[in-house]
C-alpha cells in the first residue's frame, strides 16, 4: 500500500504545486473572479485524463509504447513553455499592479484568459493520462485487493493537501517575497519538467545518450524512498541523470533565472518596448493579446 | 488569439495519436497480436514465453513483489529501450504493447526502480505474415 501511496503522491505533487501558485497569485492580486478559469482547466484535465484512461484500459483499444512516450515528451515540453510564460506573465502583471495601472492589469488578465485555462490544463494533464492508467489498473485489481486503490487515492489526496498547506503559507508572505520565491520555484520546476521530457524522448530513441550518465546517486536517494518521491514529485529530480538532461536543465535554469532576476530588478519590465496604448473599451468576449 | 494555437496544436497532435497510437486490447475479436504475461516478483522476472511472432505484442506485467517495479524490453544490444512499463505498484497489472520486428531482444524487470534490473532473459521474435515493415 505504501508503494502505491508514494506513486500517487509523486504524480500529484507537481500539478498541485503549480496550481497552488497560480491560485495564490490570483487571490493575492485580488482577482478571485478569474479563479473559475483555473478550475476549469484543472477540471477539464482531470475528467479528460480519467475518460481517456478508462477508454484505453477497458475499451477496445490500448495505447502503444511509442505513442505513450511521444505524448509524455510533447506534453512535458509544452508544460515547460507554459510555466515559463506564466512566470513572466506574473512579473508583468506585478509591474502593472505596483504602478496602479488597474486597466492594464485587466487587459493582461483578459489576454491571459485562455492562457490560464491552458496552463492549469497542461499542468494537471501532463502526467494525467499516466496517472489515470495507474488508477484504473488499481481499480482493475480491486477484485483481488483494494489496497493499491486505497493507497493511490490517499497519495493523490496527500498531494492536494500539501498544496493546500503551501497555499495557506503563501497567503501570509508579502507580494514582493511571493514573486521572488514562486518565480524561482516555478523556473526550477519547469527545468525539471523539461529534463523529464528529454529523458522520455531519450527512452523513445528520438534523442541520443540514454546511457551516458552524468551521475547515478540512486544508492543514496532510492527512487522508491519517501524523500526520493518528494524530490521526483516536485523538482522532477532523477537519481539517474544523463548528460543531455543535465545540460538542458542547467542551460534552461541559467538562462531563465538570469532573465527573471534582471526583469524583476527592472520592476518587471520584460518587454523593452511599451505596448501601444489601447483605447479604453468595454471588456470584450474575445480575448486579445 | 495567439493562445489558441497551442490548443489547436495539442488537439491535432492528440487526434493524430488517436489514429496511429492505438492498438487492440486483449480479448478483441480478430486481434492478430500475441499476448504474454510477466510475473515480476522480488527475485524473478518470469515471462510466459521466450518468443512471439512479429507484429503487435502485448505484455501484461503483474507485480507480485512488494516494491514498485518496471518492465523493460531491450533491443539486441541490451541497451536501447524498445518498450517499458512503469509505475507498476505492488498488486497491480499494467500493459506494455509494442510493435516488434523479427529479431533478438531481452526482457528484464526492475523492482525498486534502480540498478540494472533482474531476470534479464533472451526474447526472440520470429518472422510472421502479420509482420509490419519496420
CATH number at residue B65: 2.60.40.420
- Whether B21 is covered by a domain: the verdict is no
Confidence (pLDDT) at B39: 96
- Whether B25 is covered by a domain: the verdict is no
Using a CB-CB cut-off of 8 Å, the residues of chain A touching B117 are: none
- Whether B20 is covered by a domain: the verdict is no
In this structure, the number of other CB atoms found within 10 A of the CB of residue B14 comes to 16
pLDDT, tens only, B33-42: 789 999 999 9
Give the residue on B whose Cα is nearest the Cα of A1.
B90
Q: How many domains does chain B fold into?
A: 1
Give the residue on A whose Cα is nearest the Cα of B2.
A289
Spell out the per-residue pLDDT of chain A, length 289, in tens. Answer: 789 999 999 999 999 999 999 899 888 888 888 899 899 999 999 999 999 999 888 887 778 887 888 788 888 989 999 999 889 888 877 776 666 555 555 565 666 677 888 889 999 998 888 899 999 999 998 888 889 999 999 999 999 999 999 999 998 888 878 888 899 999 999 999 999 999 988 888 888 898 899 999 999 999 889 999 999 999 999 999 999 999 999 999 999 999 999 888 875 444 444 444 444 444 444 444 4
Handedness of CA A288, B1, B4, B9 (dihedral sign): negative
Residue B122: beta bridge partners?
Answer: B106
- Whether B7 is covered by a domain: the verdict is no
| Beta-sheet pairing, B69-74 with B34-40 | unpaired
Full residue range of the structural domain in which residue B81 is found: 32-126
- Whether B4 is covered by a domain: the verdict is no
As a three-state string, the secondary structure of chain A is: CHHHHHHHHHHHHHHHHHHHHHHHHHHHCCCHHHHHHHHHHHHHHHHHHHHHHHHHHHCCEEECHHHHHHHHHHHHHHHHHHHHHHHHHHHHHHHHHHCCCHHHHHHHHHHHHHHHHHHHHHHHHCCHHHHHHHHHHHHHHHHCCCHHHHHHHHHHHHHHHHHHHHHHHHHHCCHHHHHHHHHHHHHHHHHHHHHHHHHHHHHCCCCCCCCCEEEECCCCCCCCCHHHHHHHHHHCCCCEEEHHHHHHHHHHHHHHHHHHHHHHHCCCCCCCCCCCCCCCCCCCCCCCC
- Contact B89/A148, CB-based, under 8 Å? yes
Nearest to A62 among B68, B79, B95 (CB): B95
Q: Confidence class of residue B13 from pLDDT cuts 50, 70 and 90?
A: low
- Whether B49 is covered by a domain: the verdict is yes
Q: How far is B83 from chain A (nearest CA, A)?
A: 6
Touching check for A6 and chain B: CB below 8 Å?
yes
Residue B52: beta bridge partners?
Answer: B125
- Whether B116 is covered by a domain: the verdict is yes
Percent above pLDDT 90 for chain B: 56
Q: Is the confidence metric ipTM above 0.90 for this complex?
A: no
- Whether B60 is covered by a domain: the verdict is yes
Instruction: Tell me the Cα Rg of chain A.
Output: 20
Nearest to B68 among A7, A63, A147 (CB): A7
Q: How far is A108 from chain B (nearest CA, A)?
A: 13
Touching check for A54 and chain B: CB below 8 Å?
no
Confidence (pLDDT) at A214: 94
Nearest to A62 among B13, B23, B112 (CB): B23
Touching check for A264 and chain B: CB below 8 Å?
no
Amino acid at each position: 500500500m505504501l508503494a502505491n501511496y508514494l506513486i500517487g503522491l509523486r504524480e500529484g505533487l507537481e500539478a498541485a504545486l503549480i496550481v497552488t501558485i497560480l491560485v495564490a497569485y490570483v487571490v493575492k492580486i485580488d482577482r478571485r473572479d478569474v479563479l473559475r478559469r483555473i478550475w476549469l482547466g484543472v477540471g477539464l484535465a482531470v475528467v479528460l485524463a480519467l475518460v481517456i484512461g478508462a477508454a484505453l484500459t477497458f475499451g477496445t483499444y490500448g495505447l502503444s509504447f511509442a505513442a505513450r512516450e511521444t505524448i509524455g515528451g510533447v506534453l512535458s515540453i509544452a508544460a515547460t513553455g507554459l510555466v515559463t510564460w506564466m512566470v513572466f506573465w506574473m512579473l508583468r502583471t506585478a509591474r502593472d499592479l505596483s504602478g496602479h495601472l488597474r486597466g492594464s492589469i485587466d487587459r493582461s488578465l483578459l489576454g491571459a484568459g485562455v492562457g490560464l485555462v491552458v496552463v492549469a490544463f497542461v499542468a494537471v494533464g501532463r502526467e494525467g493520462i499516466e496517472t489515470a492508467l495507474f488508477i484504473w489498473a488499481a481499480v482493475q485489481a480491486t477484485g483481488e485487493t483494494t489496497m493499491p486503490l486505497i493507497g493511490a487515492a490517499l497519495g493523490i489526496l496527500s498531494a492536494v493537501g500539501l498544496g493546500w498547506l503551501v497555499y495557506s503559507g503563501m497567503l501570509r508572505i508579502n507580494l514582493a517575497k511571493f514573486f521572488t520565491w514562486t518565480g524561482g520555484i516555478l523556473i526550477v520546476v519547469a527545468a525539471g519538467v523539461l529534463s523529464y521530457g528529454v529523458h522520455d524522448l531519450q527512452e523513445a530513441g528520438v534523442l541520443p545518450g540514454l546511457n551516458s550518465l552524468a551521475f547515478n546517486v540512486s544508492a543514496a536517494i532510492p527512487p522508491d524512498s519517501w524523500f526520493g518521491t518528494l524530490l521526483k514529485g516536485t523538482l522532477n529530480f532523477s537519481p539517474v541523470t544523463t548528460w543531455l538532461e543535465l545540460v538542458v536543465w542547467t542551460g534552461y535554469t541559467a538562462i531563465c533565472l538570469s532573465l527573471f532576476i534582471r526583469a524583476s530588478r527592472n520592476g518587471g519590465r520584460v518587454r523593452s518596448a511599451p505596448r501601444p496604448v489601447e483605447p479604453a473599451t468595454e471588456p470584450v468576449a474575445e480575448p486579445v493579446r | 488569439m495567439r493562445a489558441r494555437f497551442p490548443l489547436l496544436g495539442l488537439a491535432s497532435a492528440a487526434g493524430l495519436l488517436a489514429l496511429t497510437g492505438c492498438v487492440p486490447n486483449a480479448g478483441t475479436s480478430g486481434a492478430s497480436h500475441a499476448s504474454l504475461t510477466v510475473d515480476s516478483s522480488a527475485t524473478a522476472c518470469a515471462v510466459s514465453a521466450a518468443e512471439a511472432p512479429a507484429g503487435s505484442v502485448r505484455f501484461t506485467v503483474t507485480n507480485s513483489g512488494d516494491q514498485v517495479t518496471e518492465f523493460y524490453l531491450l533491443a539486441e544490444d541490451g541497451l536501447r529501450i524498445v518498450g517499458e512499463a512503469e509505475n507498476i505498484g505492488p498488486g497491480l497489472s499494467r500493459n506494455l504493447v509494442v510493435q516488434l520486428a523479427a529479431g533478438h531482444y531481452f526482457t528484464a524487470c526492475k523492482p525498486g526502480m534502480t540498478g540494472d534490473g533482474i531476470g534479464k532473459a533472451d526474447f526472440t521474435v520470429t518472422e510472421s505474415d502479420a509482420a509490419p515493415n519496420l
